[in-house]
Amino acid sequence: NADAAMYHAKGQGRNNYQFFQAAMTAKAQERLHLENDLRHALDRGEMQLHYQPQVEAATRKVVGVEALLRWHHPRLGMVSPAQFIPVAEETGQIIRLGEWVLFTACTQAKLWRDAGLPPLRMAVNVSGKQFRQQDFVATVDRVLAETGFDPGCLELEVTESVIMEDVQETIQTLNNLKARGIRLSIDDFGTGYSSLSYLRQFPIDRLKIDRSFVSHLPGSEDDEAIVNAIIGLAATLHLEVIAEGVETDEQVRLLTSWGCQKLQGYFFGKPLPAEALSEMFEMAGA
Ligand code: C2E
Ligand code: MG
Ligand code: MG
Ligand code: MG
């Protein structure tokens, strides 16, 4: 038992290192390995972006994609971003990784555009640490210049908790991005603590209803009420609203009837590598 060993180690006073080693849980060791492996992951070509379609509810046409990072670990196989993004945040690796994501996503979106596809919106997740970097907007500028991607087709997703953290600074950064024509959305909306009065001041374009509310539809009265409240709030603030985690035909029908404009989820497509999505686009005759 780790806690007991730790307690024991403290009491011992000497030879602490051994005890601490013994006390180090498998989980902590795993995390340490992950941290080390993450340092080389990009250079070793283990990172890849997958893209998940976003559709317009009314027409069911694909109007955009969200870029989602994938790590193919040589030993562990596919490691979930939910697992390694927080680690990358803590170690600062997220800065390099995030820039790579932005660059790769914009490059791919430009390729699709040049191949003659109708303009697709490319949504890219931005972590808190990334967003708070002094040179974040300059980095975005550089990536846009290097890739030649239209800023009007780029959307940055920032979570509710990040956006509410330092409001004055947030407004300034968002305004700077907005001035370039970039769209901004609040990810995982409903899971944080949004101040509605701040929400009104932010130059944002859309709210993404968190999957945790969508997954219990239909059936959960609470979640039905929450989802409807978010859709209503978006309408009041003149924001677009998209639901994530849409998996069933019934959820599609419900969300559409409630006025949710865009939908994203396994029902329409799982996140896929660019080549697989290109094939899908070709088949759709786009
Ligand atoms: P997110 O931005 O909220 O992305 C949506 C997540 O829901 C993705 O998980 C997606 O694969 C999953 N998802 C979409 N539709 C469905 C569905 O119908 N059912 C279910 N069960 N899941 C669905 P993923 O790819 O594992 O990413 C998890 C989180 O990791 C993301 O949540 C995002 O916060 C973070 N993340 C992913 N890529 C990046 C990145 O490039 N940069 C940063 N900073 N964070 C990222
Ligand atoms: Mg997202
Ligand atoms: Mg989300
Ligand atoms: Mg989420």
Backbone angles phi, psi at 47, to 5 degrees: -95, 145
Query: CB of 223 closer than 6 A to ligand 1?
Result: no
Using a 10 angstrom Cβ sphere, with 0-12 exposed, 13-18 middle and 19 or more buried, the burial of residue 211 is middle
78 SS3 class: strand
198 lines ligand 1 (CB under 6 A): no
Predicted local distance difference test score (pLDDT) of residue 16: 66
The per-residue pLDDT for 10 is 53
Q: What DSSP element (H or E) covers 143?
A: helix 136-147
Ligand 1 atom with the smallest distance to the CA of 89 is 44
Going by alpha carbons, the residue nearest to atom 4 of ligand 1 is: 68
Helices 16-23 and 2-12: crossing angle in degrees, nearest 10, is: 170
Percent of the chain with pLDDT over 90: 78
pTM of the model: 0.91
Question: Which ligand has an atom closest to residue 80 CA?
Answer: 1
The interface pTM score, or ipTM, of the predicted complex is: 0.98
**Distances from the Cα of 44 to the Cαs of 47, 90, 128, 219, in angstroms?**
8, 21, 25, 46
Dihedral, 167, 89, 161, 271 alpha carbons, nearest 10:
120
**Tokens, residue 140:** 């975005």
Instruction: Please report the pLDDT score of residue 174 as a whole number.
Output: 97
Distance 46 CA to ligand 4 centre (A): 23
Band (pLDDT 50/70/90 cuts) for residue 281 is confident
Task: Quote the pLDDT of residue 233.
Answer: 95
The confidence score (pLDDT) of residue 30 equals 82
